């Protein structure tokens, strides 16, 4: 459905925000993971035809989206990172406004979407009174007006409380049953239970795109746990990549990524997805 071929985006002479990304995506939720500045937003903006690639090609159902942007625009919903609402409008008025812009004439669609995002009871309240999570849900409802096949959401969970995060995550998971949902985040737990695939970016490059299961499998045998004294910890941290260190009395409980046992008494540990992704980056650094 969506194919990226060696996509590049440069800004000026020095910044390669996206650096040769190739990727093929179909239905389901894809978590786009990476640190600040990894290139996630730029990549998503290119897919959304808000900015043009400097090189490479993006194909949607086989058609080049630069040559034929209307094809993808008609079938795409986009929730930008800095999504703003018009505070004087109610949720209903906001949806009616965007429905008019997008040529959606069916009032039942608006009602359906406000129910889907669980804002129907607050539909007549000014959006100015909404919490961050409610605003984000209104943003999703707006992005779904045209019943898109691709939904792109840029860091939708930033700043949300745990309950809203959970609600938002479930909503996106359900939408991923019959759409391609691309969601960027640097919080792995926000996508781990819903993403069929995780695409990891670092410095503009795609490090990997794989299922959580494959990423976990790749890390197995390389994550270690150990309890060591403070002095040994100081030595270890200089030669081993420590993922987590927690002081417990005069001991430090460690989680580490290492190709072989990093110290006496270290035990192979079952990786969490976050650790597995860190192990991926570690492997890249070692290989570089």
Ligand X SMILES: Nc1ncnc2c1ncn2[C@@H]1O[C@H](COP(=O)(O)OP(=O)(O)OP(=O)(O)O)[C@@H](O)[C@H]1O
- Of these, 1, 8, 15, 27, which contacts ligand X (CB under 6 A)? 15
Site for ligand X in 42-81 (CB under 6 A): 42
Shortest separation between residue 39's beta carbon and ligand X, angstroms = 4
Q: Which residue among 17, 23, 199, 269 contacts ligand X (CB under 6 A)?
A: 17
Interface with ligand X, residue 195, by CB under 6 A: no
* Cα 164 to Cα 111: distance, rounded to the nearest angstrom: 21
Measure Cα distances from 174 to 28, 66, 181 in Å.
Answer: 9, 30, 10
What is the spatial distance between Cα 19 and Cα 231, in angstroms, rounded to a whole number? 42
Query: Which CB atom, from 42 or from 157, has the smaller least distance to ligand X?
Result: 42
Q: Which token pair is 159?
A: 């700043």
Size of the site for ligand X (CB under 6 A): 11
d(C-alpha 63, C-alpha 237), whole Å: 50
Q: What phi and psi, each to the nearest 5 degrees, are found at residue 181?
A: -110, 115
Q: Is 40 near ligand X (CB under 6 A)?
A: yes
Nearest approach in angstroms of CB 34 to ligand X is 5
Least CB distance from residue 86 to ligand X, whole Å?
24
- Which residue of 14, 36, 163, 238 would you call a contact of ligand X, by CB under 6 A? 36
Nearer to ligand X, 40 or 222 (CB): 40
Identify the sign of the CA torsion 139, 144, 146, 151.
positive
Q: Which of 204, 183, 191 is nearest to 81 (CA)?
A: 183
38 is an interface residue for ligand X by CB under 6 A: yes
User: CB neighbours of 205 closer than 8 A, spacing ≥ 6?
Assistant: 19, 20, 21, 39
Among residues 39 and 196, whose Cβ is nearest to ligand X?
A: 39
Tell me whether residue 19 or residue 192 sits nearer to ligand X (CB atom). 19
34 lies in the site for ligand X, by CB under 6 A = yes
Cα gap 117→94, rounded to integer Å: 14
C-beta separation of 201 from 38 below 8 A: yes
In the list 37, 56, 69, 173, the residue contacting ligand X (rule: CB under 6 A) is: 37
The answer to the question of residue 39 lying near ligand X (CB under 6 A) is yes
Interface with ligand X by CB under 6 A: which range of 21-29, 38-46, 83-91, 218-226? 38-46
Q: Which residues bind ligand X (CB under 6 A)?
A: 11, 15, 17, 34, 36-42
């Amino acid at each position: 459905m969506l194919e990226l071929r060696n996509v590049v985006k440069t800004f000026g002479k020095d910044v390669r925000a996206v650096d040769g990304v190739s990727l093929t995506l179909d239905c389901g939720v894809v978590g786009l993971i990476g640190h600040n500045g990894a290139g996630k937003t730029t990549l998503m903006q290119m897919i959304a035809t808000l900015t043009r690639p400097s090189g490479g090609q993006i194909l949607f159902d086989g058609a080049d989206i630069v040559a034929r942007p209307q094809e993808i625009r008609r079938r795409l919903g986009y929730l930008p990172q800095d999504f703003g609402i018009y505070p004087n409008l109610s949720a209903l008025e906001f949806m009616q406004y965007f429905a008019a812009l997008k040529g959606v004439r069916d009032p039942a669609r608006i009602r359906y979407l406000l129910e889907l995002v669980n804002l129907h009871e607050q539909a007549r309240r000014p959006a100015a009174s909404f919490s961050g999570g409610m605003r984000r849900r209104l943003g999703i409802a707006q992005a779904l007006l045209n019943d898109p096949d691709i939904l792109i959401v840029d860091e939708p969970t930033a700043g949300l409380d745990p309950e809203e995060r959970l609600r938002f995550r479930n909503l996106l998971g359900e939408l991923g049953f019959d759409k391609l949902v691309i969601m960027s985040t640097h919080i792995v737990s926000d996508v781990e239970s819903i993403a069929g695939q995780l695409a990891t970016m670092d410095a503009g490059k795609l490090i990997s795109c794989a299922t959580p299961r494959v990423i976990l499998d790749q890390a197995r045998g390389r994550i270690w746990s150990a309890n060591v004294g403070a002095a040994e910890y100081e030595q270890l941290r200089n030669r081993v990549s420590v993922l987590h260190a927690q002081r417990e009395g005069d001991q430090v409980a460690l989680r580490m990524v290492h190709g072989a046992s990093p110290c006496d008494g270290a035990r192979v540990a079952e990786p969490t997805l976050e650790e597995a992704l860190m192990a991926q980056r570690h492997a890249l650094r070692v290989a570089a």
